[in-house]
């Protein structure tokens, strides 16, 4: 297919596809799906080989968020029966992180619900980061705490944070239909603050909220322009008790096409399969590893994932290998630019290269927002975007509420984590 050949050639050169080409990927048929996966796989292997980076979430503070993000189980007014607890102590958080690290996780993502941290919260998280790093040599730490105020990113960097996660979630045009208590511009500002402080920016999206193909393409191109080092792709988990509980718009095939589109637009960036992969990709998860080079291990913020052992078996059975702590995730040209920028990603990609930032799916910065996690500044109890009916009818799948399980173990409980 001429389209796929063109996209592979551009990806190998770190060139951006056109918006029309990105839309064409989402419009491919199921008969063409394996060709799409194979083409995206060529670009993935060029920059990341057969390595899979494992990340582990630690929910530092769960529930009771004042923001109204429609997708989030922790949102204001949520009736989802999730765990609710206040801040974990540094030792408790480090103990929770150790389980994921023992399972092979290279990065620990520290997430807290809320609009954004107070200065006292930043101090608390800083002590937690220091504790984790003292007890686990070589581990990366990403913070996801919501909207940042001036100077807070710098203080997290000084405490040892390597990255900051804050997702854009959806296109600017439809953002107001998902969240009312903060704006799309607020999210962009936080990603830019992380960049400026020398933190590696992590920013991604949530698919399946009723958005149109154009919205997905818009947000991914926005992430590319922000020049993120990692882009988590969340698939909405329609949690009962949230405004989007009835939005079952995804099929495994559509999820694969979305991941492929992200890979073509962001060829040399860490593409992470985040919340919702078990619910929507299901038995197609191994195919997704041919496109993405990063996943979360075990459970998410408020929902349960598949067993950590099952994740490891899946990676091995698909012919991939877990990325070790001594290996640099990003390609040399990005890693060198990141180091030169003092640790953050800055604008280190050439014109036509690189991609977005690594913000979380939630507001606070948790990639589990789509997985029933979500946080602070992302909600909005407004209805789904106006384009929802058309998008849903084009790709709706049956509701699989049997695959949605509230997290009852790990951080904030007396039960062992699923890592």
Binding site as annotated, residues for [4Fe-4S] cluster: 65, 69, 72
DSSP 111: E
Residue set of the binding site for [2Fe-2S] cluster: 109, 142, 202, 272
Cβ atoms of residues 55 and 109 within 8 Å: yes
Cβ atoms of residues 238 and 249 within 8 Å: no
Annotated catalytic residue within 107, 254, 272, 407: 272
Distance (Å, whole) CA 246 – CA 404: 13
Distance (Å, whole) CA 149 – CA 157: 14
Give yes or no: 69 in active site: yes
Annotated catalytic residue within 107, 124, 187, 202: 202
Cβ atoms of residues 255 and 292 within 8 Å: no
DSSP 341: T
CB contact burial 366-390 (16+ within 10 A = b; e otherwise)? bbbbbbbbbbbbbbbbeebbebbee
Cβ atoms of residues 58 and 111 within 8 Å: yes
Q: What is the CA radius of gyration of the chain?
A: 19
Annotated catalytic residue within 69, 144, 255, 375: 69
Give yes or no: 144 in active site: no
Residue set of the binding site: 65, 69, 72, 109, 142, 202, 272
Give 103's Cβ-side CA count (13 Å radius). 30
Distance (Å, whole) CA 159 – CA 263: 32
Q: Is 373 left (phi over 0), alpha (psi -120 to 50) or beta?
A: alpha
Annotated catalytic residue within 14, 107, 115, 142: 142
At 61, list the tokens: 């503070």
Give 129's Cβ-side CA count (13 Å radius). 26
Nearest to 394 by CA among 259, 238, 257: 257
At 89, list the tokens: 């102590």
Give yes or no: 272 in active site: yes
Give yes or no: 65 in active site: yes
**Distance from chain centroid for Cα 154:** 22
At 117, list the tokens: 């941290």
For 296-323, give the DSSP string: E-S--SSB--S-HHHHHHHHHHTT-EEP
Distance (Å, whole) CA 167 – CA 223: 9
Backbone angles phi, psi at 284, to 5 degrees: -90, 5
Cβ atoms of residues 182 and 67 within 8 Å: yes
Give yes or no: 109 in active site: yes
Give yes or no: 142 in active site: yes
- Residue numbers annotated as active site: 65, 69, 72, 109, 142, 202, 272
């Amino acid at each position: 297919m001429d389209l796929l050949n063109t996209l592979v050639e551009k990806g190998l050169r770190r060139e951006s596809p056109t918006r029309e080409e990105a839309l064409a990927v989402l419009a491919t048929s199921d008969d063409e799906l394996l060709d799409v996966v194979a083409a995206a796989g060529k670009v993935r292997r060029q920059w990341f080989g057969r390595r899979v980076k494992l990340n582990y979430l630690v929910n530092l503070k769960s529930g009771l968020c004042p923001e109204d993000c429609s997708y989030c189980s922790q949102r204001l007014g949520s009736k989802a029966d999730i765990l609710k607890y206040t801040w974990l102590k540094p030792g408790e958080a480090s103990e929770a992180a150790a389980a994921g690290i023992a399972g092979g996780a290279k990065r620990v993502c520290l997430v807290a619900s809320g609009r954004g941290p107070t200065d006292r919260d930043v101090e608390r998280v800083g002590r937690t980061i220091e504790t984790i790093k003292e007890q686990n040599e070589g581990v990366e730490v990403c913070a996801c705490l919501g909207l940042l105020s001036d100077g807070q990113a710098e203080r997290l960097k000084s405490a040892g944070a390597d990255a900051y996660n804050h997702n854009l979630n959806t296109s600017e045009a439809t953002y107001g239909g998902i969240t009312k208590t903060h704006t799309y511009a607020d999210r962009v500002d936080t990603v830019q603050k992380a960049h400026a402080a020398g933190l590696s920016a992590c920013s991604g999206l949530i698919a399946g909220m009723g958005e149109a193909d154009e919205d997905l393409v818009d947000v991914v191109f926005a992430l590319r322009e922000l020049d993120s080092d990692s882009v988590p792709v969340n698939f909405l988990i329609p949690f009962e008790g949230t405004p989007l509980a009835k939005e079952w718009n995804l099929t495994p095939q559509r999820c694969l096409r979305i991941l492929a589109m992200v890979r073509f637009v962001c060829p040399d960036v860490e593409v992470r399969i985040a919340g919702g992969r078990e619910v929507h990709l299901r038995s197609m998860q191994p195919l997704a590893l041919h496109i993405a080079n990063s996943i979360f291990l075990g459970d998410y913020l408020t929902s349960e994932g598949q067993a950590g052992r099952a994740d490891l078996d899946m990676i091995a059975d698909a012919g991939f290998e877990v990325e070790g702590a001594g290996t640099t995730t990003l390609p040399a040209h990005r890693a060198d630019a990141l180091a030169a920028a003092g640790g953050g990603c800055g604008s280190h990609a050439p014109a036509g290269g690189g991609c977005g930032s690594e913000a979380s799916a939630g507001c606070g910065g948790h990639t589990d927002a789509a997985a029933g996690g979500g946080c602070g500044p992302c909600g909005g109890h407004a209805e789904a975007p106006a384009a929802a009916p058309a998008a849903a009818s084009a790709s709706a799948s049956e509701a699989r509420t049997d695959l949605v399980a509230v997290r009852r173990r790990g951080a904030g409980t007396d039960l062992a984590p699923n890592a």
